[in-house]
Structure 1
Amino acid sequence: YGYNHRDVAQCYFGIGKVYWIQSRYEDTLANYAKALEIYIDNYGYNHRDVAQCYFGIGKVYWNQSRYEDALANYENALEIRIHKYGRKHRHITPCYLGIGNVYWNQARYEDALANYEKAFQIRIHKYGYNHPDVAQCYLGIGNVYVEQTRYEDALENYENALEICIDKYGHNHPYVEACYNNIAVVYLNQSRYEDALANFEKALAIKKKIYGEIHADVSTTLHQIANVYCDQAKYKDSLENYHKVVGYIQSYHGDTHPEVASTLHTIANGYYKKGKYKGAVTNYVNVLKIYIDKFGHNHPKTH
């Protein structure tokens, strides 16, 4: 076929998707760009494969926090898909969600909400309310409301998403865990600590079933639980969980990782608040040793 054939473009796009999975984003972009060039040369701009390339490139840029570049590519994909399918087709909803995500990251919350709502309306028209793609919209809308401190509205959307995800996936699924975690964060922002704790515990139980005891996602939730206890001035429970976090981080990053130091610093603060100054000093010294080892003596963290 030579280099300028649509089947070659398909190969470039496939290679790009593999690099995407491997988080090799520059390699992903290079292959998507080659595919895009061939598709445009063969089909012109208003073709679904061209839209697919623009959308893929937008996702890479979004992941790299290159938000204006992401937005431009998502909008190109959206324009083509509207031209091909009309304004109420399911294929245009990922574009609205992608654009919404960009605006959310840019703190343009009303713009984010408008795009999430467009995706939501199309999806409920297509699928009804009890569909995983609708749950995805509820989560996006809930995230906006959290940033706007509209916590009751956020909670309503997260609970709607949770209900759908449990119905579709059962209780032990990553999407269900994400819903519990988001609900817990809302409760934490409302200082409803026991409710926050209950939902973090549910999220933790699911993560342990999915990933096992020793996993980065497990330690993240343990850290959140420890933070709740700290906010309640329940320092014994807080320290117990922070120590678990340190153990997990050490198991997969080693003893001298900056995340170990960060958590030890939190532990030191906990001992200080409890008036256990010897324990505080011991942990502060350990933190300092790690930072000197990693960053040297002339780094802000070691001063």
Structure 2
Amino acid sequence: MTRELPDLFPGFETKVVQAKNTDFFCRIGGSGPPLLLLHGYPQSHVIWHKIAPSLARRFTLVMPDLPGYGRSSIPPRTAGHGTYSKRAWAAAINDMMRALGHETFFLAGHDRGARVGYRLALDFAGSVKKLAVLDILPTSDYWDLMDRGFGLKIYHWMFLAQPFPFPEKMISAAPVRFLEHTLASWTAEKTLDCFSDGALEHTRDWFCRPDRISASCEDYRAGATIDYVHDKADRDAGNTISTDVLVLWGSKGIASSVDDPLAIWRHWNPRAQGMSLPGGHFLPEEAPDETADALLSFFGG
């Protein structure tokens, strides 16, 4: 990050917090109970910039970049992908919140961040007061549902999880083209129109770096291996998420590939509530007003 990027969070603090050998780049602002917001692929904390002002009127927002993404430090690659497991990331983020003085907190996650979020709620049940997951199904459910149609829709799960360095070399040949195709293809309109110029500038800046391309691939390798094992172990043991869960998905999003996303989540939390919102996968940017209203109602209720 060598050039000045637009400030999408005026009035928010910028802070680097170290936890479990990870330096988390965070934007922090607002007042009220702590609300942790976790982004997904292929983005960073800037995904929240449209809804942060309204949420910050009710909550103290903590918006880190996930390990390897944005400006957070990059975990080393290991043979079993354990440093990229959602269990390891959840433990680090839980420690990050404690370092900021938050023993308990609300949590909303989109895409990969939602996977960290439900893992954190499973492994550190006392920390998460309420959990919102945006446009995902649990990792093991996605893999178990994988068939011809589902595989075509989320082909990137198989592609990014291929052994190092094949996907890295393919993406690095044209990183901006890959990034912008991926972003546009997951929106309802199949365009980049919902993304602000500033957000795209931030994302292009970090995504083009080979070490961060590799980190995001490692994230998906963990999803295909160790994360799946952790999920299946919880399901086999009958473990469920104890806190209240809100499930939001885009009417044309990835989670809408199944008839009833909420029914799948109720295997993990029988009391889960939720709804479809207009748009595709990127709810905080495609449907910011509806997403903010749903989160304010859930966490503020």
Q: TM-score range by the shorter chain?
A: under 0.3
Higher relative strand content: 2
Q: Rg larger in 1 or in 2?
A: 1
TM-score computed with the length of structure 1 as normaliser:
0.26
Which fold has the larger relative contact order, with Cα–Cα distance below 8 Å and residues 6 or more apart in sequence?
Answer: 2
Higher relative helix content: 1
TM-score computed with the length of structure 2 as normaliser:
0.26
